[in-house]
A and B are shown apart, each in its own frame.
Chain A
Amino acid sequence: MGDERNLLMIEQLKTYFYLDENRVAKAVDGVSLSIKPGETFALVGESGSGKSMTALSILQLINKPGKIIDGSVSLDGMELISKTDKEMSKIRGNDISMIFQEPMTALNPVFTIGDQITEILRKHKGLKKKEAHNRAVELLDIVGIPRANEIIHEYPHQLSGGMRQRVMIAMAISCEPKLLIADEPTTALDVTIQSQILDLLKEMQEKFNMAVLLITHDLGVVAEYADRVAVMYGGQIVEQTSAKQLIKEMKHPYSKGLIQSLPSFKKTQSRLDAIPGTIPPAYDFPHGCRFSARCPFVMDICTQSNPELIEAASDHHVRCFLYEEGGADIHETASPAAK
């Protein structure tokens, strides 16, 4: 694994939002991760943890007052951060494409499906109108849209949410990108449609040999579809390992909280175990570890300084004092602090 080259390398990426003179929201604060060709990398965390901002930073689609202030993003060894907007527009949709959470609003309401797919083919592939049209019909067919010949002339409002997400996928794969970023692609959809869309993504990934950066808050999805996973909290990665390893053994208290807050069929519960409190605003993180205020295992040191991301086990990185040299072993000695 280690000798294989990386497709995407993110190093110490920092994206800050300058809200006003006194407040700086550190939406992405020193994120590093790498994705290999063809693999599925899941980014997990609750709303506001910085996962979408990390994804948008890769494509440099951060709107003001946000700004990428430091770090590196490279694709196939090519640095992206230093590129101009015009240079980036040749990469967006072509080498890296993205699909979004809300299929209902992600398509332009006044243009036909065909128009919106062909414009990307004409821009990046230089196809003629007719060629682009034929290819668009093919693509709609590939993503499982029936009557592709007719649908291509329809407008987004005439399609269901699931169909629109398929159109988004057709657009995203149209230039056979090396990396597809899927930002919670199924959150807004029916449960029955969710697995269809995820299976379709998997199928497309194999067909076109794409890497997928899958942003989700659903650990079930991670277990089923991801190869590697990073858990984000407060703009930082708090745990990073293979998906198998994470499901087997979650180390960070936040990750544990996430899995415990899922409903289970095995045990009968009157209430779900939720992580107490809410994610702190990105302009006002607590001193020390950003999870310390909500952590059941909080120690004195946690409120004094923020731990580094350390390799707690082979290929298993955790940002937590519990796993640092001389730290208490969570399984034996640490017990949840009284709430």
Chain B
Amino acid sequence: MYKYIIRRLLVFIPMIFLLTIIIFALATAAPGDPLTGKKVDPSISPEVYEQQREELGLNDPLPVQYFNWISSFAQGDFGESMFYNGRSVESLIGARLLNTVYLGLFAFAITLLVAIPLGIYSAKKPYSLLDYGGTAFGFIGLAIPNFFFGLIAIYVFSITFGWFPAQGTTSDPNLTGAAALLDRLHHMVLPGLTLALAGTATYMRYMRSEALDVLGSDYIRTAKAKGMSERSIVFKHTLRNALIPIITLTGYEFGVLLGGAVITEQVFNYPGLGTLFIDSITNRDYPVIMAINLLLGVTVLFGNLLADILYSVADPRIRYD
């Protein structure tokens, strides 16, 4: 097992290296640079503009630029933002990353808490009212774009009823303790639901079909013939088996949650990684774009490793030796 994990981690090195090349190539292939917008500003003379480019290293050949970036990156230096006047990328990402992680975990918790029971119940009572309701919710959830659901949620729950705040992470930064936590959660409800929507629908559909398969299996018939209670059959014998494929999905979910947050955060003006990402793309702030992209890539890699490890824990037939 440990050998397997170490082997997987070693494979990450070339993968991450490849990822940096792709990310760098894509970022520089986009037209313009951080100073493009300033060219039209008549108060800046072309000489200053040129001098700025030179200072930022934007006139160097691309391989040199890449090498400069990757070598400082390898030393743990993510570089400086080209837009926010030299603030370090770490300081820009740091606080926002935490906000996004909170939101992602919150959404993931909603997904699991709604999708798993609903999926199991639908499988237990197929073609019941709740099953049809769940199916309808599943298709609607997958069909509605994130931003649209977010806007409707704001209109209904924020503007019309006034139950939840429409934006930000807190209404009073001076709160402490439990009050601060509650305030934070209160702010996360709408963006959390929005972010969780598509995932919940997907997981529920998977859970339903897996549980339906398992409930029809021979070993469930054996469990029934042994006189096991309904509870034991559903929550012990069925759930454990039906969750195995779901675990594989969770590996991707980490990346999806961080990536999906880009749009949701924008809609709710939530100060997370997503808003920073959009801003830095608009401003062509390469170091930030590349750092966030890389972070997403690494998250997906580690998410998958984690899923594979959990997979072997849940299913004794899977052994990594």
Interface, chain A (partner B; CB < 8 A): 59, 61, 63, 85-86, 88-94, 97-98, 100, 102, 105-112, 119-120, 123-124, 155, 157, 168, 171
Contacts and interface: CB of A to CB of B under 8 A. Distances in A.
B226 A93 contact: yes
Nearest to A120: B226
Contacts of B59: none
Contacts of A100: 218, 221-222, 225
Chain B contact surface mostly: helix
Contacts of B226: 92-93, 97, 119-120, 123, 171
B240 interface: yes
Contacts, number: 81
Contacts of A108: 219, 222-223, 237, 241
B7 interface: no
A339 B237 CA distance: 52
Given A119-B232, A157-B316, A61 B227 contact: no
A155 B316 CA distance: 7
Contacts of B240: 110-111
A157 B317 contact: yes
Given A110-B316, A157-B316, A157-B317, A105 B228 contact: no
B85 interface: no
A173 to B, nearest CB: 12
A102 B225 contact: no
B80 to A, nearest CB: 51
A59 B227 CA distance: 10
A105 B227 contact: no
A124 B229 CA distance: 11
Contacts of A112: 316
Nearest to A63: B216
A107 B227 CA distance: 14
Nearest to A89: B227
A111 B317 CA distance: 10
Given A85-B230, A89-B229, A109 B224 contact: no
B225 A61 contact: yes
B315 A110 contact: yes
B319 to A, nearest CB: 10
A92 B219 contact: no
A123 B218 contact: no
Given A106-B222, A107-B222, A123 B317 contact: no
A61 B317 CA distance: 28
A120 B216 CA distance: 21
A59 B229 CA distance: 14
18 contacts: A59-B225, A61-B224, A61-B225, A88-B227, A90-B227, A92-B224, A92-B225, A93-B227, A94-B227, A98-B225, A105-B218, A108-B237, A109-B219, A109-B316, A110-B314, A110-B315, A119-B228, A123-B229
Nearest to A98: B225
A111 B240 CA distance: 9
B217 interface: yes
Nearest to A110: B240
Given A110-B240, A110-B314, A155-B316, A105 B217 contact: yes
Contacts of B228: 89, 93, 119-120, 123
Contact of B241 (A85, A102, A110, A168): A110
10 A-B pairs with least C-beta separation? A93-B227, A92-B227, A93-B226, A105-B218, A108-B219, A98-B225, A155-B316, A89-B227, A120-B226, A106-B218
A107 B216 CA distance: 13
Interface string B224-262: 111111101000010011001000000000000000000
A168 B237 CA distance: 16
Contacts of A107: 219, 222
Contacts of A119: 226, 228, 232
Interface in B180-228: 216-219, 221-228
Nearest to B127: A64
Nearest to B220: A108
Of the candidates B218, B222, B229, the one having the most CB atoms from chain A within 10 angstroms of its own CB is B222
B225 A93 contact: yes
Given A93-B226, A119-B232, A123-B232, 12 more contacts: A59-B225, A89-B229, A89-B230, A97-B226, A100-B221, A106-B221, A107-B222, A108-B223, A110-B240, A112-B316, A155-B316, A171-B222
Contacts of B219: 105-109
Contacts of A85: 230
A112 B317 CA distance: 11
Contacts of B224: 59, 61, 89, 92
A279 B219 CA distance: 28
A63 B220 CA distance: 12
Of the candidates A105, A107, A109, A155, the one having the most CB atoms from chain B within 10 angstroms of its own CB is A109
A111 B226 CA distance: 15
A85 B224 CA distance: 10
Contact of A120 (B227, B316, B317): B227
Contacts of A97: 225-226
A88 B225 CA distance: 10
A124 B226 CA distance: 9
Nearest to A91: B227
Contacts of A59: 224-225
A264 B162 CA distance: 85
Of the candidates A86, A88, A89, the one having the most CB atoms from chain B within 10 angstroms of its own CB is A89
